[in-house]
Amino acid sequence: MAGFEVIMNGRVWVIPEDIVQDWLADYVARAAFRLQQFSFNAEVTMASASVTMTINGKPYSEATFRNEIERAMLEAMIEGTKEKIASLVSPSEASQLTIDVQGTDMSRLSLSVKGPEEIVAKVQAALTE
């Protein structure tokens, strides 16, 4: 079965691909929101013209643009995944979970869910339905 591997209380589970696809739309929207700090400034006088662009306060370049998009997507995926996992159980149960998403880029993410066995079992059941 294709999907996203999750470690829950030391055991590996797989989130089905259709659930992961649903999550991705949310992550794209979150990343777009994070990129709203893109700015374009133009200063034109009779003698000269000056145009500067920044993204999140950094001078615009193709590399900066690509890096900021990747960073925004990674942050959105981490934040969104934690929220999605926590939303599978009650708020009091979610407070007992430790949800850790780590990675340096989107192709190397790992997700770990730890907590009381009965709560982790609820999360696992919800993810594999």
pTM assigned to the model: 0.63
Does residue 60 form part of some domain?
no
Confidence of residue 35 (pLDDT cuts 50, 70, 90): low
Lowest mean pLDDT among 42-56, 82-96, 104-118: 42-56
Does residue 62 form part of some domain?
no
Does residue 118 form part of some domain?
yes
Q: Which residue range is the domain that position 90 belongs to? A: 3-32+70-128
Does residue 40 form part of some domain?
no
Q: Terminus-to-terminus CA distance in the chain, angstroms?
A: 13
DSSP string, 33-84: HHGGGEEEEEEE-SS-EEEEEEETTEE--HHHHHHHHHHHHHHHHHHHHHHH
Evaluate whether 34 touches 77 at the Cβ level (below 8 Å): no
Q: Is the pLDDT of residue 41 over 60?
A: no
**What pLDDT sits at residue 20?**
72
Confidence of residue 108 (pLDDT cuts 50, 70, 90): confident
DSSP string, 72-127: HHHHHHHHHHHHHHHTTS-HHHHTT-EEEEE-SSGGG-EEEEES-HHHHHHHHHHH
Does residue 46 form part of some domain?
no
Does residue 99 form part of some domain?
yes
DSSP 23: H
Does residue 89 form part of some domain?
yes
Chain mean position to CA 70: 10
Does residue 22 form part of some domain?
yes
User: How many domains, in total, are found in the chain?
Assistant: 1
| Mean pLDDT score, 49-71 | 75
